């Protein structure tokens, strides 16, 4: 049988109208009570894996995944992922098991994906599956932390998982009526004492109440990108934000001092004098001293890793928040990686002034 080009062209032209007509008749069953045909299920899964494999080719995979981000990533997983995918010692919910397609138990499938592919899935999600994109596209560092957590998931014991995502019940709840559940969520990463449970989680105990409130509002509005914090804060009634800021501001700030090194001594020069030849202002003008603007954070005694991460985000234009953020973005753009490491080392070895 010979197919003429004219007949083939007519067939191809009619095909879209035929597809629309079949869809209009309602013949295609979209009910979730029955699964796809096996061939349909295979094709969709094949297309998904092929797409992720292709787009992951452009992902710049780090030489080493950031283990220091395991705890905040675990907290985010417990808050937003475990309900569908389960967790060590915590099975998937009945609602997740009834979904189509069914969310996988990640401990059993993580090892079938490469690091770049996991990054692509976590950052961009997967259409038609219920798997959402990361809450912000501006924080690749958080996405890599989640990839690092997923890599540990297959061998993670339930007791280890619980230690990462659970803390004892928050104290002094009487000062924050109606916020008890919210404080429990905050404590996953910031700890009951507000001192942070990882090098990437800043101590917020004793921070300025005004700064904490402005920061919470910036996360709620999406002005300060963070998939971890945005998911948490946007789930809170905005009326409770002042109480949360007041609670953590009233907690005593403990001293965590790092050993002084050559980098810290170089960082002190930038922090106290700036670098006028490059229009780099002195950090101490805004961040040290009791007379500083209360909207500026207290960074003395913060971990060097946290300070360096924030400075890089400012330099890349990925850190916003208050109306003063452009000042930091301008200053950070003139700092090299070595400058950032030195300044971070300097402030991390200072004891908080209160």
- CATH code, domain carrying 199: 1.10.760.10
Residues 172, 134: one domain? Answer: no
Instruction: Flag whether 311 is in a domain.
Output: yes
Instruction: Flag whether 218 is in a domain.
Output: yes
Residues 160, 181: one domain? Answer: no
pLDDT of residue 119: 98
Q: How far apart are CA 61 and CA 114, in angstroms?
A: 10
Residues 292, 186: one domain? Answer: no
Residues 231, 333: one domain? Answer: no
Residues 158, 171: one domain? Answer: no
Question: Pseudo-torsion of CA 159, 165, 167, 173, nearest 10°?
Answer: -150
Segments forming the whole domain that contains residue 135: 38-164
Residues 194, 174: one domain? Answer: yes
Instruction: Flag whether 25 is in a domain.
Output: no
Contact partners, residue 349, CB within 8 Å, separation at least 6: 257, 258, 259, 260, 264
pLDDT of residue 213: 96
Residues 180, 221: one domain? Answer: yes
Write out the two tokens for 1: 């049988």
Residues 307, 268: one domain? Answer: yes
DSSP 100-167: SSPPP-GGGTGGGS-HHHHHHHHHH-BTTTTBPPPS-TT-HHHHHHHHHHHHHGGG--HHHHHHHH--
pLDDT of residue 173: 46
pTM of the model: 0.91
Instruction: Flag whether 13 is in a domain.
Output: no
Task: Tell me how many domains the chain contains.
Answer: 3
Residues 128, 183: one domain? Answer: no
Residues 209, 142: one domain? Answer: no
Q: Digits of tens for pLDDT over the chain (354 positions)?
A: 565 778 788 888 888 998 888 889 988 888 888 888 899 899 999 999 999 999 999 999 999 999 999 999 999 999 999 999 999 999 999 999 989 889 999 999 999 999 999 999 999 999 989 999 999 999 999 999 999 999 999 999 999 999 999 887 666 544 565 677 788 889 999 999 999 999 999 999 999 999 999 999 999 999 999 999 999 999 899 999 999 999 999 999 887 666 667 889 999 999 999 999 998 999 998 988 767 788 999 999 999 999 999 999 999 999 987 888 999 999 999 999 999 999 999 999 998 866
Of the residues 164, 199, 233, the one at which a domain ends: 164
Residues 336, 287: one domain? Answer: yes
- State the residue for tokens 């596209």: 137
Q: How far apart are CA 248 and CA 2, in angstroms?
A: 79
Of the residues 129, 164, 199, the one at which a domain ends: 164
Contact partners, residue 228, CB within 8 Å, separation at least 6: 72, 73, 75, 76, 142, 189
Residues 242, 302: one domain? Answer: no
pLDDT of residue 10: 84
Of the residues 127, 147, 164, the one at which a domain ends: 164
Instruction: Flag whether 7 is in a domain.
Output: no
């Amino acid at each position: 049988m010979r197919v003429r080009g004219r007949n083939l062209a007519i067939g191809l032209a009619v095909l879209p109208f035929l597809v629309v007509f079949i869809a209009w008749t309602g013949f295609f069953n979209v009910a979730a009570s029955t699964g796809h045909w096996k061939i349909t299920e295979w094709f969709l899964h094949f297309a998904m894996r092929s797409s992720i494999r292709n787009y992951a080719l452009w992902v710049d995979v780090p030489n080493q995944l950031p283990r220091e981000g395991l705890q905040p990533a675990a907290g985010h997983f417990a808050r937003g992922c475990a309900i569908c995918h389960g967790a060590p010692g915590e099975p998937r919910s009945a609602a997740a098991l009834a979904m189509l397609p069914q969310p996988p138990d990640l401990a059993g499938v993580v090892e079938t994906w490469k690091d770049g592919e996991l990054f692509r899935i976590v950052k961009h999600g997967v259409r038609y599956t219920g798997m959402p994109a990361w809450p912000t596209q501006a924080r690749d560092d958080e996405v890599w932390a989640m990839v690092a957590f997923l890599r540990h998931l297959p061998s993670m014991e339930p007791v280890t998982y619980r230690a990462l995502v659970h803390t004892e019940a928050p104290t002094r709840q009487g000062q924050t009526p109606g916020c008890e559940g919210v404080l429990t969520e905050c404590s996953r990463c910031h700890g009951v004492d507000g001192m942070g449970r990882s090098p990437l989680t800043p101590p917020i105990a004793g921070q300025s109440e005004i700064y904490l409130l402005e920061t919470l509002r910036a996360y709620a509005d999406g002005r300060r990108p963070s998939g971890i914090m945005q998911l948490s804060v946007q789930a809170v009634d905005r009326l409770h934000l002042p109480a949360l800021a007041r609670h953590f501001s009233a907690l005593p700030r403990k001293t965590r001092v790092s050993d002084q090194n050559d980098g810290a001594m170089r960082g002190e020069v930038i922090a106290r004098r700036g670098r006028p030849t490059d229009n780099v202002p002195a950090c101490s003008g805004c961040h040290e001293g009791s007379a500083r603007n209360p909207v500026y954070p207290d960074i003395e005694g913060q971990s060097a890793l946290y300070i360096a991460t924030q400075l890089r985000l400012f330099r890349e234009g990925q850190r916003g928040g208050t109306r003063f953020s452009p000042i930091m973005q301008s200053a950070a753009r003139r700092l090299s990686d070595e400058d950032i490491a030195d300044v971070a080392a300097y402030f991390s070895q200072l004891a908080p002034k209160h």
